[in-house]
Every structure is written in C-alpha cells, then in structure tokens.
Structure 1
Amino acid sequence: MCLISEKEEELGRQQALGSCPYCGGKVEALDVERRWKLCFIPICFIIKRKYFCTLCAKRLVLNF
C-alpha cells in the first residue's frame, strides 16, 4: 500500500513592507517549506513565501 504524505514546516517570519488593504494592520512574510513523499520516497520540495495581516489574519496575495 502506497501512501502520499505532505508535510508543511515554518522556516521563519519577518515584517514585510506596506500595510493591509482591508484593515491597515502590519503585514508579515512567512517562509514555508512543503514536502511530498510517496512511500517514504521524496517527490517534491518547495519553499514559498506567504503574506498575511497580523491584525485581521487575512492571507494577502500579490498581483503584479
């Protein structure tokens, strides 16, 4: 039986520039590491940065 597992780990937090467009609170950047394994064999390894407001806890998305 093969199992697919996903693990998400927080690497670090830091204050980001700007303010929340919804409430005007401070924005934090969160670095997250994601790993997927299939039967204990690593498939994928991704590091992403997520932004969220510290006051209203909304996740913010950057549109370029």
Structure 2
Amino acid sequence: MCLVFVCDEDERVIGRQAAPGACPYCGGMVQAMDVQSQWRFCFVPLYFKTKRRLYCTICSRRLVVQ
C-alpha cells in the first residue's frame, strides 16, 4: 500500500526585526518575523501569503496584538 501526500504547506521566515514594546509574560524584547506560507497541491504552488508574527526573544511565546 502506498500513501501519497497530495497537499503540503511550507512556511519560510523571510525577515526578522525588533518590535517596540515588551513581553507581558516575562518582560523580554519582542521580535517581529515575516513568514511566507505556501500551499501546494501535487507539487504545484497554489497560494502564497505573507504574515507578520510577534515573538518574545526570552520565553519564545507567540504574542497576539489585540
């Protein structure tokens, strides 16, 4: 029996930079990362999206802006 994955998601970090503010959990510096996600179907790229995510540099938690 052969199992073939036909859908795949790939995430790649494009850039990092310091963001203003401090982590509410530990008080560490916040870092903004630009992440490009790519959905593929049978090795054909279908969808590209670039997102900005915020992370703490000390506790490595993902931070959400409200």
Q: TM-score, normalised to structure 2's length? A: 0.88
Compute the displacement of 1:24 (Å).
Answer: 0.6
Give, in whole Å, the separation in 2 of the partners of 1:2 and 1:54.
35
Provide the secondary structure at the position in 1 that maps to 2:24. Answer: coil
- State the structure with more CA Rg: 2
Answering whether residue 29 of structure 2 is matched by residue 14 of structure 1, we say no
Aligned length: 63
In angstroms, what is the RMSD of aligned CA positions?
Answer: 1.2
- Deviating above 3 A after TM superposition, structure 1's stretches of 4 or more consecutive aligned residues are none
1:47 to 50, 53, 59: 50
C-alpha spacing 1:57/1:41, structure 2 compared with 1 (3 Å) = same
Give, in whole Å, the separation in 1 of the partners of 2:15 and 2:45.
23
Identity of counterpart residues, as a percentage?
48
Structure 2: 5+ residue runs without aligned partners? none
Structure 1: 5+ residue runs without aligned partners? none
Give, in whole Å, the separation in 2 of the partners of 1:42 and 1:18.
36
Give, in whole Å, the separation in 2 of the partners of 1:8 and 1:51.
15
Deviations 1:9-32 (A, max 9, x none): 110100000000111100000000
Q: TM-score, normalised to structure 1's length? A: 0.91
The residue aligned with 2:8 is 5
Q: What letter corresponds to residue 20 of structure 1 in structure 2?
A: C
